[in-house]
Amino acid sequence: MRNGQILRGEVIQQTATTMQIKLEDGKIKQLNKKEIQRVSYKEPTIQEKKDSEEKLKQQTTIIEEPPPPTPEPPKKSEPEVDKAASPYAIDQTKRKDVELYFGAGLGTYRPPTESYSNQTSVKANVLTGQVPPDHDTPSYKRGLAYSMGAIYYWKKFAFGLSANHFSGETSERIKVYNPNASLQEIAGKFPEKQSSLKADVSYLAYSNQRFDLRPSFGYSQFWGKTDDNNTISTGYSGNELTSFFKYHYYFLEKLKGPSIGLKTTVRQGERWEHRIELHYLILSGAQYSTGTLSMFNPPNFFDYGVNQGNIQWDAKGFNFSYKLFYKWTPTISFWVGIQAFEWKYSLKSFDQSFNGLANIDNPSPVDQLVLINLLLTSSAKMTPATSKASSLEFGVMKRFEFSQ
């Protein structure tokens, strides 16, 4: 203190003009920063203690004989305070708190649903010597994306639970050229969605005032859905309409598996914080599909059929996440971030079947069905399949502190 007194205790809270400390006897004392000479986080030296005692003795003598009034001393600069006492600073090795966050924005989801089935059919046609269909590259439209989660910090450990959702719209078109100079065009737009849930645990392997590094292990579950009720197929011979097909396809994909990765935090000043995560995914699961097809060939042919598929596969890929946080208060932050999921599939099995009204009176021979499935499986193994999802989001985070 400016009067020579030395106070020893724990800094609890401070503002621009005051500092609150807890003394060794447990009492709480609030100080005016103008009364503080300096703040030290080290034990006072013997010489400092001796100087303090001398100054207090001199002040006692002066108090017994009050001195004449003196002019107010000029303003001095703010006392030097250790940055670790900032209300925005957190001791990462002694944390006991929970962070809850939510974000929303725009994103895309590009799964191998109808596109993969169509590409498999194209390759099968090539293997049988037929004219290969002209399959356009699908186009994608952005949709709603959001994420939410909770992270519980206990000393050097962190336990997280997070959920993500991506949506979008896919447009596809296929042209099938027949040897008799006829053309069949298949086109449609359909919504696609993916949701995921992940639990993970991480450990603070390294930390300083600016940087944290946490190895992480997690387990994730993914659900992908496609509901196509808009695709139609039209056949032409010259300018004459020869066929009309109406499709309704529903795809459901379920994948799950572990992940390993790293989480890093880079602090910039008191209020800005960068959080970067990279995880390697090891997934396994299946994609199930059910489709109905109404067919009409003028003038008198009509058929209705059901197409079913079951694909078993593994997948390996990554998840990348970056968030920039601004600490509005010590416990409330706003953030903007990007994230991306991407993995490649490895096919294990491919089964597909079709049953229509025409098959009732004239069923396909069993050996023919077996050959068709073998052909489709061979074509599927030669067809690359990937899944991609990405988003740009804005969000808020709230931190709840627990008593030490």
Local confidence band at 60 (pLDDT 50, 70, 90 cut-offs): low
List Cα–Cα distances, 81 to 13, 322, 330, in angstroms.
12, 33, 18
Residue range 307-319, pLDDT digits in tens = 888 899 999 999 9
Q: Is the pLDDT of residue 75 over 70?
A: no
pLDDT band with cut points at 50, 70 and 90 for residue 137: confident
- From the list 186, 295, 184, the residue with the least C-alpha distance to 240 is 184
- Say what the pLDDT of residue 68 is: 61
Q: Do 253 and 285 form a contact (C-beta atoms < 8 A)?
A: yes
Q: First-to-last CA distance in the chain?
A: 29
**What are the domain boundaries of the chain?**
1-67, 96-401
Across 54-68, 79-93, 157-171, 252-266, least confident range: 54-68
- Give the span between the Cα atoms of 216 and 321, in whole angstroms: 14
**201/214 Cα distance (integer angstroms):** 9
Query: 44: which 2 tokens?
Result: 């006072």
Mean pLDDT for 48-71 is 63
139-151 pLDDT per residue, tens: 889 999 999 999 9
Residue 16's pLDDT is 75
**Please, which residues bridge with residue 91 across strands?**
none
Nearest to 327 by CA among 272, 269, 369, 282: 272
Residue type, 311: I
ω into 299 cis (within 30 of 0): yes
- The pLDDT, as a whole number, for residue 63 is 45
The whole-number pLDDT of residue 77 equals 52
Give the strands of the sheet with 28-32, arranged side by side: 9-14, 18-23, 28-32
Model confidence pLDDT, tens digit, residues 205-238: 999 989 999 999 999 999 999 998 888 888 877 7
pLDDT at residue 350 in the model:
83
355-377 residue pLDDT tens: 766 665 666 655 555 666 677 77
Give the mean pLDDT of 23-50. Answer: 81
Pairing of strands 301-327, 206-207: unpaired
Instruction: For residue 25, report the phi and psi dihedrals to the nearest 5 degrees.
Output: -85, 5
The SS3 of residue 101 is strand
Instruction: Specify whether the CB–CB gap between 96 and 154 falls below 8 A.
Output: yes
284-339 pLDDT, tens digit per residue, is 999 998 988 887 776 666 777 888 888 999 999 999 999 999 999 999 999 999 99
The residues, ordered by sequence, that sit 6+ positions from 197 with a Cβ below 8 Å of its Cβ are 161, 162, 163, 220, 221
Residues in the chain: 404
Q: What value does the mean pLDDT take over residues 29-57?
A: 79
User: What does the DSSP assignment read for 205-244?
Assistant: -EE-SSEEEEEEEEEEEEEEEEEE---EEEEEETTEEEEE
The architecture in CATH of the region 96-401 reads Beta Barrel (2.40)
Q: Answer yes or no: is pLDDT of 102 > 70.
A: yes
- Identify whether the C-beta of residue 345 lies closer than 8 Å to the C-beta of residue 311: no
Average pLDDT on 240-260 reads: 89
What's the pTM value of the predicted model, to 2 decimals?
A: 0.72
